């Protein structure tokens, strides 16, 4: 099995729709740290699991310097964003996403 990981830094804003009162309901921004983990038993025709440049384009190109509420049709929590990233990157099986130094969400396929 081959494994690759790509670390990205993304700046974006969001507001959360919650079932309780929270300051996160107001628009606010984060400098997200995202680590995308990919794996494959075979390499593609270029000798790669997934091209690092393609990962950056697919994720940073869609999320960096954006209002995530305008990008997604779901509540843009760190958990939901991690799953979306995993679903949109070839061979991705796990995503780690920090919205701050102390707050991290992980999504991993079963």
Closest CA to 38 of 99, 88, 98: 88
- Residue 67 in contact with residue 18, Cβ under 8 Å? no
Q: How confident is the model at residue 34 (pLDDT cuts 50, 70, 90)?
A: very high
Q: Which helix (H) or strand (E) is 82 found in, with range?
A: helix 78-88
- Write the CATH number for 102: 3.30.479.10
Number of domains in the chain: 1
Q: How confident is the model at residue 88 (pLDDT cuts 50, 70, 90)?
A: very high
Residues 23, 24, 25, 27, CA torsion sign: positive
pLDDT at 110 over 90: no
Predicted local distance difference test score (pLDDT) of residue 101: 92
62-86: average pLDDT: 97
Domain of 84?
2-108
Whole-model pTM above 0.75? Answer: yes
């Amino acid at each position: 099995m081959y494994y690759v990981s790509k670390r990205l830094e993304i700046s974006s804003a969001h507001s959360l729709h919650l079932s309780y009162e929270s300051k996160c309901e107001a628009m606010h921004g984060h400098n997200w740290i995202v680590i995308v983990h990919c794996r494959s038993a075979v390499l593609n025709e270029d000798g790669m699991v997934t091209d690092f440049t393609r990962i950056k384009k697919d994720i940073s190109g869609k999320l960096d310097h954006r209002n995530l509420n305008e990008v997604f049709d779901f509540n843009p929590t760190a958990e939901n964003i991690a799953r979306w990233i995993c679903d949109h990157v070839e061979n991705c099986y796990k995503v780690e996403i920090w919205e701050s130094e102390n707050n991290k969400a992980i999504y991993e396929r079963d």
